[in-house]
Amino acid sequence: MKKAVILARSFARSAKDPLRLLETAGIQVEIKKDPDPENEKIVSELIGDAEGVLVGMDRVGEVVFTNCPNLKVVSKHGVGVDNIDLQSAQKHSVVVANAPGTNSISVAEMAFTLILILARKIPHFFEQVKNKEWGATSFGLELEGKTIGIVGFGRIGKNVAQYAQAFAMKVLYYDPFITDEISPYKKVELEILFKDADFISLHAPLTDETREMVNDKLLSLMKKEAFLINTARGELINEEALYLSLKENRIAGAALDVFTHEPPFDNPLLSLPNVIATPHISSHTREANLKMGNIAAENLIRVFNGEEPLYRVV
């Protein structure tokens, strides 16, 4: 019997259908809790002699592939595979598959929710009511006529653009992989986007080129009244530079669902009153969890059966 280890913490949490898929396929399933997802030694110990592993943000690289010679497939419970060393996987003849598109609505809705929360200062007014203070002490913003800049115009970015259009916002986007402008949205260079946008939402994948792409230079171009929203990867931002920009009120605020190191309990960004933080929950809806789990499970099953996964990365 083939054995698969489940490390993704939210796998089959909203419904047991993905787990039943694996069990019906005759796969021995072991669900294990990873106390330190960035520690490859621990990850490899948890995988042990299993032929397959279903991961969330667990780090899978040369240490894992060397220590787990039985491993044949790594199935990502999600889209981004920046936590998996793809070159090392190819070297060890391990298939890597992911579940693209499964969280595009959830993440886009979360990004736009954060935009609305920032615009209307919801945390500020919530604290005010909790402190038994009544009446408006400051003004929020209307979104109509404002400009949103979307960095990364894949499925999620396009969904955010549609929501923004419904609010009568102007939409700018930056994506080096899109050659033709997508009507009715305006493609611009990254510097122009940061200069002109009132709200900037990050939806780029994490690569060597995008790591800390949001740096001192780009932040210095932002309007003093502008906001930054990140529901993609924390490493897209140079957090020290962002901290200084926010602390010195050079930009109005930020909403962050992701951080370079998680959990970010010691991160100085959390000490700032103009920062909203959530615990990496953009894709955590019942619908996305079910779709993601089913595809991640199906990828494992197919590779175990000698077939191509639904979505092969390498």
Cα dihedral sign, 30-33-34-35: negative
**Cα distance between residue 155 and residue 109, in whole Å:** 12
Cα separation, 265 vs 269, in Å, equals 9
Assess whether 280 carries a catalytic annotation.
yes
With H, G, I as helix, E, B as strand and everything else as coil, classify residue 9.
coil
Asked if residue 184 has a cis previous peptide bond (ω within 30° of 0), the answer is: yes
| Contact (Cβ atoms closer than 8 angstroms) between residue 85 and residue 40 | no
Whether 284 sits among the annotated catalytic residues: the reply is no
How far apart, in whole angstroms, are the C-alpha atoms of residue 143 and residue 251? Answer: 17
Strand order in the sheet with 275-277: 186-187, 170-174, 147-151, 199-202, 227-230, 253-256, 275-277
Instruction: Give the Cα separation of 82 and 79 in Å (integer).
Output: 9
**Does 235 qualify as catalytic in the annotation?**
no
Within 10 A of 10 (CB to CB), how many other CB atoms are there? 16
164: helix, strand or coil: helix
Comparing CA positions, the residue from 53, 5, 14, 58 lying closest to residue 35 is 58
Given the residues 30, 45, 62, 262, the one annotated as active site = 262
First to last CA, the chain: 25
Catalytic residue among 77, 155, 203, 280: 280
- Reading the block at residue 16, the tokens are 């047991």
CA–CA separation, 105 and 156 (whole Å): 7
Query: How far is 24 from 43, CA to CA, in rounded Å?
Result: 26
**Active-site residue, selected from the candidate residues 59, 233, 284, 302:** 233
In whole angstroms, give the CA distance from residue 123 to residue 125.
6
Catalytic residues: 233, 262, 280
